[in-house]
Amino acid sequence: MGELFHNSVSGLLAFQRALNTTAHNIANVNTEGYSRQRVELGTLPALGTGSGFIGSGVQTESVRRVFSQARETAVQRNSAELQRLSTFSELATRLDNLLADQAAGLSPALQDFFDAVQDVANDPISSTSRQMLLSSGENLVARLNFLDDRFSALKGEVESQMRLQVDEVNQIAATIAELNEAIVTAQGRIGHPPNDLLDQRDALTLDLSERVATRVVAQDNGAVNVFIGNGQTLVAGFESNELRLIGGADDPTRPEIAIANPGGTATNITATIEGGSLGGLLDARRELIGPARDELGRIAASIAVAFNNQHKLGMQYAADPGGALGGDFFGIGAPQVVSHLGNAGAQPSVRFSTDKIGELKASNYRLQHDGSNWQLTRLADGQVVDSGTGLLEADGLSLDVSGLSAGDRFLIRPTQNAVDGMSVLLDRPSQVAAASPLIVSEATAANGQASNGGTAQISGLAISSTDNLPPGSSQAPFTLTYDATATEFQITDAAGNAIGTIDFDAATDAEGIVVDAGSSEWTAAGSPSLLEYGDMRFEISGVPENGDQFIIARNENGLGDNRNMLTLGELAGDSIMDGGSATVQEAYAGLVGEIGTATLRAGIDRDAQQAVLDQAIAANQAVSGVNLEEEAANLLKFQKAYQASAQAIAIANTLFDSLLSAVRG
């Protein structure tokens, strides 16, 4: 009789707990991070009798979560990757929209500027055209500055978000450590896992993985340790370590991520941070924003230096013969040199190599001493591009490293400040050097008419330097006289001295020959020779007659001369970048294309990762999620079991009453 009553009461209590747990599951069906719970039932020890073992009922062994750590880990891992890709994609899209915008992009301003150059070439006398060129140059500078400012603002926004993310990571890590302590305490007191606290910790771990990729390792006492990067400990039992933003060793102005050490120091872990929105921010800064800004600076420096190089070979308006040569049209920001935190000495002098500006690359460099020489390493590919102790030259840069301390180290950013320091240096239309400083003409007779009888002509007269230009026209010019017998032009200077000859046979050379210092037809007979004046170069064509003469002299005043402006206009289509393989427009189009490709790829990767995460969540929910239909079935099952146990108690009570009545009778 007692066994029947005891069995029924144990069942009643067990199924009551099962009903309570089922009700708890139903109540939390929409609670994010909740794992359904299940009552674990076990048979009570049987009682041994002479007739055998008699069952003594059921007991509640534990209430456990229905949970798969492997599936939860998959959700955390895929969530971290999705957040990284989403953050990267969002920033890439903003950058792509900025560069490709026809109103805000660089292409329209470049086109307007070179259109203005062509307008001056078409009408070099017009002050209006010259003023429009200056205005177009200022508009180009303004557009470059606008883009550079947007890049800088986006970089600042990324670094501001990094600070917020670091603060949130620290808060979550501290809460996980507190939950570790609460879980260990509760489990030690009760002897069973505190399911709801475990769910809270898992939810926080998932929140943490959305900010930075983590690795979670469970301990025997119920606590977990959380690691990030290359195994740096963020949470260890009841303690958490803080992330900090510090200045980089190579660049103190660039915020980087470090983790605090027990001794109060901090270890820089920026390079090892992966996943989560924090990883996406770092990736975007490293792979998108920084390189795009450097490339914009490279384009600006290439335009400015190439345009200045040619502009200085021209001549301004001048009232006196042999007028002023052109100056720099654009100002440009010098390469940036950042000293390492531990440096003690001076900085190197770094400048653009104006004659090799086409080799300039959108990369940063590290300058350090190897024990015997200074080495310049291109960080884009890790290649040592030059080494020495005096003057280093590579990739369109010139570095004077003499006098530096051997233990110092420097970060070189060639194009970082290029746009910020860019400006139009001319302030008057007359300063535009549209003319060429040299002019060639035929000899004239007493009546002022050309006296040459042949069809020969000299064209394409140009210089590549302003060194040793011929003297002003107040002095005698250079004269080229054709000798038909010797089939050559004989060259005399202002004093009538022979200074060279140019072989020219009309039978074979009428189509034209180019004369420069390296041409086979040119022979120097004096010092300095004709071609040493400004590194002169020209073309002779046609059929000269004996005695025909050409005169090369300094330009009088440049009025109406557009030859230098025509050459400047050709820069729009010249391949002045990437070692002579790309125009400015092509380089900018390449930048837009790279950002567009990165944006497209990031969007595709993000969408694919979203599908992977959805599958991981579905797989996890299949195990841990609350299914209302299943819980409703459990309610009916446990209700009937509860009612049956209650009925068994009633039967036991009736039997006991019958026994008492029989005894009384």
Reduce the DSSP state of residue 347 to 3 states and report it. Answer: coil
- pTM for the full model? 0.87
The pLDDT, as a whole number, for residue 68 is 85
The pLDDT, as a whole number, for residue 476 is 58
The pLDDT, as a whole number, for residue 502 is 94
Angle at 382 between CA 379 and CA 385, to 5 degrees: 90
The pLDDT, as a whole number, for residue 504 is 95
- The rounded Cα 454 to chain-centroid distance in angstroms is 62
The pLDDT, as a whole number, for residue 656 is 65
Evaluate whether 530 touches 491 at the Cβ level (below 8 Å).
yes
The pLDDT, as a whole number, for residue 435 is 92
Phi, psi of 34, rounded to the nearest 5 degrees:
-80, 135
Radius of gyration of the chain (CA): 42
- Across 299-364, the runs of DSSP E, i.e. the strands, are 330-331, 336-339, 349-352
Q: Residue 577 and residue 300: Cα distance in Å, rounded?
A: 11
The pLDDT, as a whole number, for residue 321 is 52
Angle at 581 between CA 577 and CA 582, to 5 degrees: 55
The pLDDT, as a whole number, for residue 654 is 75
| Residue ranges of the chain whose pLDDT lies below 50 | 474
Of 260, 339, 316, 340, give the one whose Cα is nearest residue 556.
Answer: 316
Reduce the DSSP state of residue 245 to 3 states and report it. Answer: strand
The pLDDT, as a whole number, for residue 660 is 67
The pLDDT, as a whole number, for residue 657 is 63
Which residues partner with 330 through β-bridges? 424
Angle at 287 between CA 349 and CA 611, to 5 degrees: 175
Q: Which residues are within 8 A (CB) of 399 and not within 5 positions of it... i.e. 6 or more apart?
A: 348, 349, 350, 367, 376, 391, 392, 393, 412
